[in-house]
Every structure is written in C-alpha cells, then in structure tokens.
Amino acid sequence: MQTTSTPQSPIPLDRLRQFFAERGATAYLVGGFVRDLLAERPTLDVDLAVDGDALALASALADALVGSFVVLDEARGVGRVVLPPQSDAPSHHRHDHAFIDIARLRGGGIDQDLALRDFTVNALAVDLAQAVGDPHAWPIRDPFRGRADLEARLLRAVSATAFQDDPIRPLRAVRFVAQLDLRLEPSTERLLRQDGHLVTRVSPERCREEFLKTLALPRAAQNLRLMDTAGILTALFPELESGRGVEQPREHYWDVFTHHLEATARMEEILSADQRAELPALRSVPWQPWLNEHFRQELGDGQTRATFLKLTALLHDVGKPQTKTITPDLRIRFLGHAEQGAELAAAALRRLRCSEHVVRYVQTIIANHLRPNQMAQPGQWPTKRAIYRFYRDVGDAGVDTVYHCLADYLAARGPWLRQEEWEQQCALMAHILPPEAQTTTPAAPKLVDGNDLQELFGLAPGPGFRALLEAVREAQAVGEITSREEALALLQTLVAEREGAAGKAS
C-alpha cells in the first residue's frame, strides 16, 4: 500500500488521487511542488491544475479533508485548501498548515498551461493518477527542460515575455535565486534588467507578500543588490534612491544608500546563532535565550520580527538626504532625519498595504533608533530612569530598537570598525536590555490610582492625573519607592509643587 505522503511533504497524495478519480476529473501536480520533490526540499504547498471547475473542486476537497476553502482568484478560477497541522506529519512540518492550490488548466491542455508559466524549473507537471512511488521515477512532463536546469542550478524564463506577462515575476526570480540557490541564466538576467521596473504594475498586496518572502530568506543584502540591479528595489521603495551617493560624516564608511544595504546584512547576521558563533566581532553581541523566541514571533503580514527588523534596517535613514546640512566648519549633519525617516518609511509601508501594526512598529524603531546611544553622556551608563522612559515610550519595539542600534553601528563603521569601541557599544546595549522577556515580566503592583487623587487630595479628574500617576510608576520602576505609603508621600510632594507653580503663574 502506498504511503499517504512523501518524506518531503505531509500532503496525502493517495487521498487526492482518490478524490479526483471519484469525480472523473484529471488533475496535474504542477510547478513548485514537483520541483521541490525532485530537489528533495521539504514543502507544504501543493499546486494542482485541473480540467474541471477548480473552485468547486477546491471547495469539495476542503470538506473531504476537513480543511478550509479560500478563493484566491475568482476570475482565473483559483482556489485554496488550507489543511490544519498534522500530528503524524514529519517533525519539520508538525506545527505548520499545508496549502493545496487548485487552478483551472490554461490554454486548453497541460502543455499549453506549462508554456504560460514563469520559469522552466516550475514548468513541470505529472498526472496525479501517475504520481506514485519515488518522485524521481514519475512520468514528468517537462517540455522546457526544467529538470536539466534544476540539476544545473539555473533559473531560466520560459519565454521572452515571461516578466511582461506577469510583472510580479521579476520579484519571484530574485526569491527563487535565493531560496533554491540558483544562478540566473544569462538571457533571463538580461530580461530581469529590462523588465524589473514593471513590478509597479502589480497590486501592492502581491508586491508586499513577494518582497517580504524574499527579505525573510538568508543573504538579504545580496538579494537586495540583485533587486537593485534590476530596478526593482527603488521601484518599490523610491525613497531609497535619493540616498545613492550621499556622503556621510567621517565615522561612516559608506554612503546612505549602501549603508542601508549593509545595515540589513548586519541585522541578519546579528540575529543568526550561526553567524554570532562564527564571526569574531559578533561574539560580543549580548544575547539571552528568550530572544530566540522573541525574534521568531509573527508580527504581522505573515512575517516575523526578524524579517521586519531587516526591513527597518533597509529604510531607517531614508530621512537623511533631505535633512543634510554642512556646518561652517564643514561637518555633515542630518538633524531631524530620524523623525522624517519614520514618516517616509510609514508612508512606504502603507503604500504596500502593510498592516497598521507593522507600520507603527517600523515607524517607532526608526524614530527612536538614535536614542539608545543618547541616553547618557559618553563614558557613562544610562540611569534606571532613562531606561524606564525608553521602554515606556517605545513599548513593544524596545528590545528590537536596541538590536537595530547594534546593526546600525556595524554598518556605519564597516572596515573601520575598532574592536575595543565595538565591545563598549555592546556593553552599553547589554546594560539597556531587560533581563528577561518584557512580555513575560509580571507587572509591578499598583500602589495608587485615580481614586486616591480624588479622595485623599481632592483633585478633579483631568490631564494632570496621568502625569502624577506616571511619576509614581516611574519612581516605583527605578526603585525609589516600594510601598503605598511612600507613593502617597511622593504624591503629596508632587501635588504641592504643582499647586505652588500654579500660584506663581497666577
């Protein structure tokens, strides 16, 4: 009896064969699923092309497999079945959802359908009824020699109009090069440079999804440089273009544009356990076990904090070109660039239809990315009060802002990095970091509240309430007070000072 799935995928192929056979429908496994099985890559995504009503079949399959049904493209007849995590799946897939995308055959037959696909390594198909046993022995339809390109590690466009036919494909080309460790075939590379800018014709949602998938992959800076040579990067983020060639102060090795790419690369390295172990400079980076899970948390739009920290690094200095000034003594200044950069980055992410939570997260880090180094005079440690106010103001983005600051420092110095100064920087950031995950630290008990201000001090509710209570919370957080009695004494002093100031003003 055949197994229900392959070692690379938990998808029950035998149940799929039975489902379509019972309905007299011909279904083909196509594209990435076939490619990944041949490359022995784990996969949770199955693509099927069918000769019937794809949406109706997808809906019925969702019922049969106890999954959920989603319409992906009603006009093109594309539906998705989402399967819940399977306890008997291979360990690397046990906690993940699986997806089965079902599309109507295009062009009248499977060979015509394959001719309309993007790359030869994706223009592969096998009749589901014949997909039995070892995938390497399947009778695969391969009219464009995709298997040979896969073995040669080449990414080749199916046709000269592949990118024009669907302008999201230039972005997909970059992702496949990175994800599958392929090289661009020369004529495809020329097409990419010729047509990469067409990506702006695609819906913002598709651009966002494809770009973030690529950014999540390793070697982010290399992938971004490929996007740049193809005109994709500044087509998506025109805010970056004005930084090209903009000179920075002497502590910076690169111009603003290159600094963005380098900061993204350094951010990726800092978050990688392997890189922290292998690269000598990164052994000084402060790290605690809870941070591993912290940066794996999904933040929004299907991506993690780690991915959005790389995005933040890519955009963090977009406010520099328009704020650049040169003082009479020829010193370069970018006064206000963090605040302006935060607004520009937020506008860029809203243009790509990122979730508002993600927009606020990136905006907060960029607006505050200089702050960790400005919390104390040079050579001094930030006080508990300064650290408290930092986390109070930046909230959930506080830890992430600290790590952005480390990546920014490395990307500024580049080859000019001095180990002793870098170790001091790491020690400063370690001093600012909380001892454990902020999300799991229990809140300190509330010592006083608004009722006390009304009943004990006779104050009417108003804007001053918040300032008084926050002053108490801050004093409690830095250890100046620990009891209700001490909190009430502090309030008495604060109220008296406020009344005294009001009397002088009158």
Q: Where are the beta strands (DSSP E) in 400-473?
A: none
pLDDT value for 19: 95
pLDDT value for 12: 81
Gap between the terminal Cα atoms of the chain:
92
pLDDT value for 439: 42
pLDDT value for 10: 63
- φ, ψ of residue 20 to 5 degrees: the values are -75, -35
Does domain 1-151 bear CATH number 3.40.250.10? no
| 154-155 and 183-184 strand pairing | parallel
Show the tokens assigned to 451: 């009722």
What is the rounded CA–CA span in Å between residue 381 and residue 302? 38
Long-range contacts of 233-242 (CB under 8 A, 24+ apart): 235/196, 235/197, 235/199, 235/200, 236/199, 236/200, 236/207, 236/211, 236/352, 237/314, 237/315, 237/318, 237/348, 239/315, 239/318, 239/344, 239/345, 239/348, 240/314, 240/315, 240/318, 242/318, 242/321, 242/322
Show the tokens assigned to 103: 């599309």
pLDDT value for 249: 92
What is the rounded CA–CA span in Å between residue 307 and residue 298? 9
Mean pLDDT by 10 residues, the chain (506 residues): 51 89 94 89 89 94 93 88 68 63 91 95 95 87 95 97 96 95 96 95 94 95 96 97 94 96 97 95 94 94 95 98 92 94 97 96 97 89 91 93 98 95 96 72 69 77 78 80 82 78 58
What is the rounded CA–CA span in Å between residue 50 and residue 103? 6
Cβ distance 204 to 182 under 8 Å?
Answer: no
Show the tokens assigned to 49: 């092309």
What is the rounded CA–CA span in Å between residue 411 and residue 422? 12
Show the tokens assigned to 113: 């359908």
pLDDT value for 504: 60
Select 153-236's CATH number: 1.10.10.10, 1.10.110.30, 3.40.1160.10, 1.25.60.10: 1.10.110.30
